[in-house]
Amino acid sequence: MRLKQGQFSFLPDLTDDDIRTQAQYAIDNGWAVSVEYTDDPHPRNSYWEMWGHPMFDNPDAAAVVYEVNECRKEHGGKYIRVLAFDATAGWESIRMSFIVNRPAEEPGFRVVRQEGEGRSIRYTVESYAVREPEGARYA
């Protein structure tokens, strides 16, 4: 199963040149770019591990690609994404987010149905990845 999160998730994997182009777009718009990784990509898991520091004053997207490749060396078996944060007053949020690395095998998610009192039914999404302990999910 291929995880679909962020921009470009329905396209083939991005090349380093594609990543550089998108990072330069973010930099040209004045957005801070950062690199993050995780082994639990659940849609509600918005707190991925940050690789290095956000690049607030970086004028060149080559530095972003360099950091992505350094993160791949250490965490190549996990999900890695690039984020662009807009600190403009009144906006102050993520403007762009896309996955740049995936594990070789993506276990996917399952929908769990829970029946409550009366006719109340709830659905939750659980990741198959969390069946393994943290750090060993994609070993």
CATH number at residue 34: 3.30.190.10
Specify if 7 maps to a domain.
no
* pLDDT exceeds 70 at position 2: yes
Note the pLDDT of residue 138: 52
Share of the chain above pLDDT 90, in %: 53
pLDDT tens digits for range 39-61: 878 777 778 999 999 999 899 99
Note the pLDDT of residue 82: 96
Q: Name the CA radius of gyration of the chain, rounded.
A: 17
Mean pLDDT, rounded, of the chain: 87
Note the pLDDT of residue 112: 85
Specify if 46 maps to a domain.
yes
Specify if 6 maps to a domain.
no
Q: How many domains does the chain have?
A: 1
Residue 104 Cα distances to 40, 63, 77, 121, 139, angstroms? 14, 25, 7, 35, 10
Specify if 110 maps to a domain.
no
pLDDT tens digits for range 60-119: 999 999 999 999 999 999 999 999 999 999 889 999 999 999 988 877 777 888 888 888
